[in-house]
Amino acid sequence: MKFSRRNLIKSFAALGSVGFSTSILAQDKPNPNNLPPNLPEWTPDLGAGVDENPYGSPSEFESNVIRRNVPWLTASPQSSVNFTPLQDLEGIVTPNGLCFERHHGGVAEINPTDYRLMINGLVDREMIFSLDDLKRFPQVNKFYFLECAANGGMEWKGAQLNGCQYTFGMVHNVQYTGVKLSDLLRETGLKPKAKWVLAEGSDTSGMTRSIPIEKILDDCLIAWAMNGEALRPEQGYPARLVVPGWEGNMWVKWIRRLEFGDKPYMTREETSKYTDLLTDGKARMFTWVMEAKSVVTSPSPEKPILHKGIQQLRGLAWSGKGKIKRVDVSLDGGKNWRTAQLHAPIMSKSLVRFTLPFEWSGEELLIQSRAIDETGYVQPYIQELQKIRGKNSIYHNNSIATWLVSKSGRVDNVRLG
């Protein structure tokens, strides 16, 4: 067997835990023999043929680009969350295998031939639809971000988690294929008294949320595909609810039922959770929309600056109230700002990519970004939110983060005050 890095990585992987990760092997050990004028080790040999990996997967040298969780956050991995590695992604499409997961009772495994969606309550006809039925309705294809209301929730009291992934990664952005609920309701009819919908999942948690009828008729979908392929099991296969711009908890996965009623249902998720506790002990309820937010994905704690000179700062912005109009970036902690370039397409309720080139000569930086959406709303500082909501809200922290760049190029999540 010819000795190569490729085989070395494989043999270490076969050994199991060897004390250092493949990412170190893969990325941090350059081999000068591969560099000009030498012949690189991958050139003489035949590579893998077609069908060796019929579905396809990322390069083994990208093995560090994965979802990660914070084990101490939750009691069990079946009722937990992990985070999208935003720092490693480009453009605005989140690859399906990297979309963060949030489950309340693990991933339901559903045979699509046994899938049914029931619509009952204040409709003219209580009906049941198979997946094939749903796919025969007029189809829409739309990009939307999905953000957990608790994204950044650990940062209310101070800078806690030292990573872009852990502080902003409860968001993803994919193209959904599905049917508009307004079209489905043309089949069932709707009684005039119907004001609320209970959306219910068929997983073991029986996830349920109440949604006002106006939103349902406006832009909600039942989706069966993401980024061109069937939904991933962890994203609700074979069908999920899409509630554009509103908190991720409402996007019920593995959806089995929509009940129409005249009042909200006050489920566990919308009373004991996903309510925003204020300093006086009262809590806001039904705070659905995700307000404008942005993050610098590089430089970031996972993406230190490696070289002096020209840098391409990049980041993501989004708003649940429409399109992002502008993103500003500061390198001095918010004293002075310059406007970043937004990259098309700029779509409503979708992530938008921004970049800003800058020169770095080894000085300390305090990097911030702030999004402005088409309503004129400006992404706030945490102090503005704390002044109104206190520090116990958990949810809906859309404040500006600060990355401290040290003279070494190291980047840390810090709080200014």
Partner 1 sequence: MYVWVKIVSALMLTSLILTFSSEASDRAFNLGSIATSQQVKGWDIDVRPDGVGAPIGSGTAFDGEEVFAEQCASCHGDFGEGVDRWPELVGGDGTLNTHDPLKTTGSYWPYASTIFDYIYRAMPFGASQSLSYDETYQIVAYLLFMNDIIDDDFVLSDQNIGLIKMPNQDGFLLPDPRPDVSNINGNPCMENCNVPVKIIGKAKDIDVTPED
Minimum distance from CB of 2 to partner 1 (Å)? 31
Instruction: By CB under 8 A, tell whether 328 contacts partner 1.
Output: yes
CA–CA dist 329, 358 (Å, integer):
11
For 58, the token pair is 């990322």
Site for partner 1 in 261-320 (CB under 8 A): 261, 263, 265-268, 271-272, 275, 277-289, 291, 301
Nearer to partner 1, 143 or 156 (CB): 156
Instruction: By CB under 8 A, tell whether 395 contacts partner 1.
Output: no
- Segment 76-83 long-range contacts (CB within 8 Å, at least 24 positions apart): 78/103, 78/105, 78/106, 79/103, 79/104, 79/105, 79/106, 79/205, 81/148, 81/150, 81/170, 82/169, 83/165, 83/166, 83/169, 83/170
Minimum distance from CB of 338 to partner 1 (Å)? 8
Span from 3-11, 33-41, 200-208, 226-234 in contact with partner 1 (CB under 8 A) = 200-208
**CB distance 190 to 260 below 8 Å:** yes
Instruction: By CB under 8 A, tell whether 385 contacts partner 1.
Output: yes
Nearer to partner 1, 321 or 343 (CB): 321
Instruction: By CB under 8 A, tell whether 58 contacts partner 1.
Output: no
Give the residue from 370, 327, 317 showing the smallest Cα distance to 348: 317
Binding mask 164-193 for partner 1 (x = CB under 8 A): --x----------------x--xxxx----
Span from 26-34, 229-237, 304-312, 333-341 in contact with partner 1 (CB under 8 A) = 333-341
Q: Of 115, 381, 397, 405, which lies in the binding site for partner 1, with binding defined by CB under 8 A?
A: 381
**CB distance 201 to 208 below 8 Å:** yes
Minimum distance from CB of 278 to partner 1 (Å)? 8
Neighbours of 333 (CB within 10 A): 15
CA–CA dist 405, 411 (Å, integer):
5
Instruction: By CB under 8 A, tell whether 334 contacts partner 1.
Output: yes
Q: Of 27, 31, 341, 375, which lies in the binding site for partner 1, with binding defined by CB under 8 A?
A: 375
Q: Of 84, 89, 149, 200, which lies in the binding site for partner 1, with binding defined by CB under 8 A?
A: 200
Most distant CA pair in the chain: distance in Å?
Answer: 77
Q: Of 380, 395, 397, 405, which lies in the binding site for partner 1, with binding defined by CB under 8 A?
A: 380
**CB distance 318 to 147 below 8 Å:** yes
Q: Of 127, 217, 230, 342, which lies in the binding site for partner 1, with binding defined by CB under 8 A?
A: 127
Nearer to partner 1, 173 or 369 (CB): 369
Q: Of 107, 122, 149, 161, which lies in the binding site for partner 1, with binding defined by CB under 8 A?
A: 161
Nearer to partner 1, 89 or 197 (CB): 197
* Distant-in-sequence, close-in-space partners of 75: CB < 8 Å, separation ≥ 6: none
For 138, the token pair is 């007029």
The string of DSSP letters for 277-295 reads: E-TTS-EE----B---EEE
Number of residues lying near partner 1 (CB under 8 A): 107
CA–CA dist 121, 126 (Å, integer):
7
Instruction: By CB under 8 A, tell whether 120 contacts partner 1.
Output: yes
Instruction: By CB under 8 A, tell whether 205 contacts partner 1.
Output: yes
Instruction: By CB under 8 A, tell whether 372 contacts partner 1.
Output: yes
User: Is residue 100 classed exposed, middle or buried when 0-12, 13-18 and 19+ CB atoms within 10 A define those classes?
Assistant: buried
Nearer to partner 1, 174 or 259 (CB): 259
Instruction: By CB under 8 A, tell whether 64 contacts partner 1.
Output: yes
Minimum distance from CB of 24 to partner 1 (Å)? 10
Instruction: By CB under 8 A, tell whether 333 contacts partner 1.
Output: yes
Buried b (16+ CB within 10 A) or exposed e, 279-313: eeeeeeeebbebbbbbbbbbbbbbbebeeeeebeb
Minimum distance from CB of 365 to partner 1 (Å)? 11
For 84, the token pair is 């999208």
Instruction: By CB under 8 A, tell whether 23 contacts partner 1.
Output: yes
CA–CA dist 237, 223 (Å, integer):
9
Span from 1-9, 224-232, 256-264, 348-356 in contact with partner 1 (CB under 8 A) = 256-264
Site for partner 1 in 222-251 (CB under 8 A): none
CA–CA dist 222, 243 (Å, integer):
9
Q: Which amino acid is at 221?
A: L
Instruction: By CB under 8 A, tell whether 163 contacts partner 1.
Output: yes
